[in-house]
């Protein structure tokens, strides 16, 4: 059994027109939402073994907030440049290459790739993963290489303004 947690980066700053997209930081709401969403997962005992992130500033900062809330070293976050601006095919390649020693992995990245990936991998019908939204998918396989189209089951979809706050 494998579990994949997809985390879209927190709300980012758009104020500086001279800043490259890759270098956009989180805005104050993004800095607030990330620890809150990590805490929600912690309360449900849903802390992954491995954290993998896009190196874009807003994604890696979100991953660091989650790591801190989960009492993990931020040095443990593995950066994968191919996640930035990735489509479903590229993201699937990243997942298929995960080491099988980890059964539960979190990936921090971007839309529209993440929303497209969730709908591709599972029976989900999600229109949009909001900023700092989390999606947990379970796969009845023992090898990440076997994760493919509609092999996953959506277990949880949560986001900062979600109406189903516990």
Query: pTM for this structure?
Result: 0.96
Sorted by where each begins, the domain ranges of the chain are: 2-158
- 58 assigned ligand-binding residue: yes
N residues, the chain: 166
Task: Round the average pLDDT of the chain to a whole number and report it.
Answer: 95
Mean pLDDT of 48-73: 97
What is the per-residue pLDDT for 164? 61
The DSSP letter of residue 130 is -
Tokens of 94: 């990243």
Cβ neighbours of residue 61 closer than 8 Å, sequence gap 6 or more: 9, 10, 25, 26, 30, 31, 34
- CATH topology (fold) of 2-158: Rossmann fold (3.40.50)
Whether the per-residue pLDDT at 33 is higher than 60: the answer is yes
Question: Quick one: pLDDT at residue 162?
Answer: 85
């Amino acid at each position: 059994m494998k579990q994949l947690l997809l985390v879209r980066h927190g709300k980012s700053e758009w104020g500086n027109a001279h800043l490259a997209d890759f270098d956009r930081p989180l805005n104050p709401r993004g800095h607030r939402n990330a620890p809150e969403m990590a805490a929600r997962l912690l309360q449900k005992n849903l802390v992954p073994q491995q954290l993998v992130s896009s190196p874009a500033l807003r994604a890696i900062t979100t991953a660091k907030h989650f790591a801190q809330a989960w009492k993990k070293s931020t040095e443990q976050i593995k950066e994968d440049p191919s996640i930035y601006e990735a489509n479903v095919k590229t993201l699937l390649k990243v997942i298929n290459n995960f080491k099988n020693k980890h059964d539960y992995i979190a990936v921090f990245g971007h839309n529209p790739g993440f929303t497209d990936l969730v709908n591709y991998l599972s029976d989900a019908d999600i229109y949009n993963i909001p900023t700092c939204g989390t999606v947990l998918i379970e796969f009845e396989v023992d090898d990440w290489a076997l994760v493919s189209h509609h092999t996953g089951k959506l277990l949880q979809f949560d986001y900062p303004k979600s109406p189903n706050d516990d």
